[in-house]
Amino acid sequence: MQLKRIAAATTALGLAAMLSACGGGGGDELTAQSAAGLWHGTADTQREVSAVTLSDGRYFAVYSGAGAGATIGGGVQGTATVSGDTLNSSDLLSFSVEGAGPTNGTFTAQVVPRFLLAGTATVPNQAPVSFHANYESDFEQTPTLARVAGSYTGEAGFALGIRPATFNIDANGGVTSSINGCAITGNVTPRTDGDVFDLSVVFSGPPCALPNLTFTGVVFLRNGGKQLYSVSRNTPARQTIVFTGLKQAS
């Protein structure tokens, strides 16, 4: 516990210094638009975190298993508002695929635009989780259908756990996917505030574990477009689907 406190203090001091060097507190005021970005980093729970913050205040993240960066641990989404140099959210929803299911919470994070995102997420009955993520310039790529089109092979995480999955996007933005033989269809639409795509998918009927449900969320890319992430949710059913996969050679 003492080591975590020291690490958190060191992160805070380093961030304060960088904010000062970048003009934080005396330069341009942070806005939801300037806070938008693609971020990748780690949490103090030994999990990797890949996230996007959007100009409308929404955010989405995929986190790995503890100490297992290649395995899905769950997804996070919510809406943040700006106060000073921080983002604050009171509607954080963390959906664990490790058995905990959905949990509501909050987070606050300091932002150095196009550089750093660092803060703390809190959910009831659990220790606060500190995270530190660097900005990735892939966010500045133009989100074209040609860029995202392809076949991605990886894992999907949902209420029943983690399953091998495919995620295919055609030249027109049509999505087809398969999880344990369950057919999924939908589409992606390029956004205008970064290399992110709005996503809508529908599960077919039985034998799908979540038959006939529609999920909406986002798709985003990392590593030069080679790695795809998606977080989508059906709110009435309180279900989230998280996917991450590598683009296959055409």
- Name the one residue in this structure whose structure tokens are 């639409």: 189
pLDDT (0 to 100) of residue 39: 98
Q: Would you say the C-alpha torsion 58, 188, 235, 61 has a positive or negative sign?
A: negative
Average pLDDT across each block of 10 residues of the chain; the chain has 250 residues. List them in order.
Answer: 33 41 56 96 94 97 84 94 96 89 92 97 90 97 96 91 93 93 95 96 90 96 96 94 92
| Cα–Cα distance measured from residue 185 to residue 63, given in angstroms and rounded to the nearest whole number | 24
pLDDT (0 to 100) of residue 13: 36
pLDDT (0 to 100) of residue 193: 93
Class of the domain covering 140-247? mainly beta
Cβ atoms of 157 and 75 within 8 Å: the answer is yes
Domain boundaries, the chain: 2-135, 140-247
2-135 maps to CATH 2.40.128.360: yes
pLDDT (0 to 100) of residue 69: 66
pLDDT (0 to 100) of residue 67: 81
